[in-house]
């Protein structure tokens, strides 16, 4: 993988990730000719003491780009007088600072601490990752070689962002489909570098720590061994296993784990990285075959937090993919129990879902 860092017209960083064998890029040709105002960090963190959670107030995001037509897509390459976020006529994979970030306080902002009710600046960083310059090629349509490049980019960004002062958790994810809430149709994902450990991994790691104290074992490893031996495995190879979890909350939900304990994306070895693409593409194509259309989904990497004090040593890398589509033309809405009480009720048997995906 070849990597290059340049900057956009408003000072935001853009990183270029190219597949092996591609000619080196000339930074002098990667000039953003747009007239853009500087990005002014405006987000705040506020602490919900009753829930024990941080909430980000990012009111400036109300004005972000919303469902532009294809010929005005800001994530397509720059060609002719059509200037975009990517100042080149073609690219493999790029990552750049979000123009409308949820996190990104000025350097030197104090980390959030639970000391009172006063809001604090939302430090951290938000990046957009474009998987291809082809507007109409979804992740499932990428080649294994391109998926390997995306995986390497995720790993590189995790390592670099995690080393920044004030960052405690790095979270790469992809949202796909208008039903999920995607506002830009170009195949892309994002990376959030949080100044705190978000609620989902925090709760998982607290349970893992309690299990370790009680049994001396790692709960992630115990659950993975049970799933690999059970009836909910969808696809697997020497290095990865994808399964529908026993307590799946969503009508379509698949978790994908390395078969050996791995804390985060940078820790993946070359064999694991090579084996990921073919298996993940197989899984995505099964999901698209489920209802005969591109499945809307969220695919989110859970990985070790930056600090050992946050439970890093017992964390296990895995991808959680879920969809709100419960049947052709039907969506699972979060209603009273889920939204009001946080208690999920699923209409789909995990065993039946796994069997269906295996059969496709």
Which are the catalytic amino acids?
A: 188
Query: CB count, 10 Å around CB of 228?
Result: 14
User: With contact defined as beta carbons under 8 Å apart, do 274 and 151 qualify?
Assistant: no
Query: CB count, 10 Å around CB of 298?
Result: 19
Contacts of 334 by beta carbon, 8 Å cutoff, 6+ apart: none
β-strands 240-243, 252-258 pairing: antiparallel
Between CA 18 and CA 226 the distance in angstroms is 39
Contacts of 90 by beta carbon, 8 Å cutoff, 6+ apart: 77, 133
β-pair partners for 256: 242, 319
User: With contact defined as beta carbons under 8 Å apart, do 205 and 314 qualify?
Assistant: yes
Assigned token pair, 310: 């946050």
């Amino acid at each position: 993988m070849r990597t290059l860092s340049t900057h956009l017209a408003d000072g935001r960083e853009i990183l270029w990730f190219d597949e092996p064998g591609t000619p080196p890029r000339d930074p002098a040709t990667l000039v953003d000719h747009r007239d853009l105002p500087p990005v002014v960090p405006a987000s705040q963190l506020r602490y919900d003491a009753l829930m024990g959670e941080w909430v980000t107030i990012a009111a400036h995001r109300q004005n972000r780009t919303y469902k532009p037509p294809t010929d005005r897509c800001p994530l397509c390459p720059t060609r002719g007088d059509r200037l975009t976020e990517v100042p080149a006529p073609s690219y493999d994979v790029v990552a750049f600072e979000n123009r409308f970030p949820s996190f990104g306080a000025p350097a030197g902002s104090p980390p959030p601490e639970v000391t009172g009710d006063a809001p604090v600046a939302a430090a951290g960083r938000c990046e957009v990752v474009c998987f291809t310059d082809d507007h109409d090629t979804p992740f499932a349509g990428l080649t294994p070689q391109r998926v390997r490049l995306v995986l390497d980019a995720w790993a590189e960004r995790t390592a670099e962002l995690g080393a920044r002062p004030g960052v405690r958790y790095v979270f790469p994810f992809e949202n796909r489909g208008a039903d999920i809430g995607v506002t830009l149709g170009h195949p892309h994902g994002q990376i959030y570098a949080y100044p705190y450990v978000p609620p989902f991994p925090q709760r998982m790691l607290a349970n893992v720590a309690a299990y370790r104290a009680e049994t001396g074992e790692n709960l992630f490893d115990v659950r993975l061994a049970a799933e690999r031996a059970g009836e909910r495995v969808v696809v697997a190879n020497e290095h990865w296993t994808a399964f529908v979890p026993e307590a799946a909350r969503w009508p379509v939900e698949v978790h994908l784990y390395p078969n050996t304990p791995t804390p985060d994306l940078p820790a993946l070895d070359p064999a694991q990285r090579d084996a990921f693409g073919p298996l993940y593409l197989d899984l995505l194509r099964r999901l698209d075959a489920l209802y005969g259309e591109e499945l809307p989904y969220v695919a989110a990497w859970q990985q070790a937090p930056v600090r050992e004090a946050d439970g890093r040593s017992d964390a296990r890398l895995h991808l959680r993919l879920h969809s709100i589509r419960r049947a052709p033309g039907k969506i699972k809405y979060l209603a009273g129990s889920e939204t009001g009480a946080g208690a999920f009720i699923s209409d789909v048997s995990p065993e039946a879902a796994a069997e269906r995906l295996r059969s496709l």
